[in-house]
Structures are given as structure tokens and as C-alpha cells.
Amino acid sequence: MRNLQQNFLAAAILVVACGSGGMNQIAAQARKPQPAVILPDKMAQQPLYSEYRGVHLGMTAAEVQAKLGPTELKASDLDYYVISDSERAQIVYKDGKVVTISVDYLNGLGAPDFKAVIGDEPEVTANGNMYRMVHFQKQGFWVSYNRTPGSTSTVTITIQKL
């Protein structure tokens, strides 16, 4: 029962924490097809952005915690970190290994420039949302950059295993 309560509390906190962050934007983007850049195997382009603060795909939770410190919120398959007032990170695990790294920069504060993440200009929608995803087939992951419009914009950068 205690584990169920902890999981419920963790999920509730995550929903509240991510409600103002970019996770809702990721869900919105998932509903709406977006163009992705898929690099052919013959292209030897190296990813510009393949890790976050030393955390990369395939690490264990213990390795992640050694890099980022204790989690703000922990579930069996997710760690949630509050790095600063404007930076949040969600690390998702499958079979004990990192499969997704998603970082929200509230108001865009501290976010890397999109060129350092995806290399090219992102697509800009009519409402001002900026989005681009780049697949690195040979390396086995994709990277996306999403910036919501408005005075309280959020930049979300996601790295995910294919």
C-alpha cells in the first residue's frame, strides 16, 4: 500500500511539475505530426547534442545520480530533477538504463542555442512555436528542440533512444 501511495504521489508531483514545463508540449507534438530530419546511414554527421550534464543514454540510475545528485522525485522508471529555478530534467529508464533525457528550461533561461542542439533552423509554426527533431540512425537516438511561444516560453530538449 505504501508503494502505491508513493507511486501515486510521484505521478501527481510529476504532472504538476511538468504542467508548466515542456512535457505537455511533447504530448501535443506527439499528437501532431512534425517533420523530422532523418540522417541516412551513409552520412557520418556526429550529433551536436548527445548528453546532458554528463548524463547519456544507456547509463544506470546510480550513474545518473552520481552526475546530477539526489533526485527531487523518484519512481521505478523515472527520476525528476530540479536543477534550478528555471531548469528541470526528467530521466526515463527501461530495464534499468536511461532511454530518454528531457530537459525543460523555463523562460528559455540557460537553454543552449538551437544550433548547438539540432544544427539547423527549427520549424516555426504560425503561433511562434519552434520545433525540430533530428534522427541519428547509426547512433540509435534522436534529439528534439521545442520552444513554446510567449512571454513565459519553455525550451524543451529531448534525447531519446530509437
pLDDT tens-digit readout, 117-127? 999 899 999 99
Domain residues of the chain, as ranges?
Answer: 2-161
pLDDT tens profile 43-90 = 446 788 999 999 999 999 999 999 999 999 999 999 999 999 999 999
Please report, as a single letter, which amino acid is at residue 157.
Answer: I
Instruction: Say if residue 110's pLDDT is above 90.
Output: yes
| Cell, residue 20 | 508548466
Which is nearest to 114 in space by CA: 95, 127, 133? 133
User: What's the pTM value of the predicted model, to 2 decimals?
Assistant: 0.75
* CA distance readout (Å), 88 to 18, 39, 56: 9, 29, 16
% of the chain residues with pLDDT over 90 = 67
Helix (H) or strand (E) run with residue 62 in it: helix 61-68
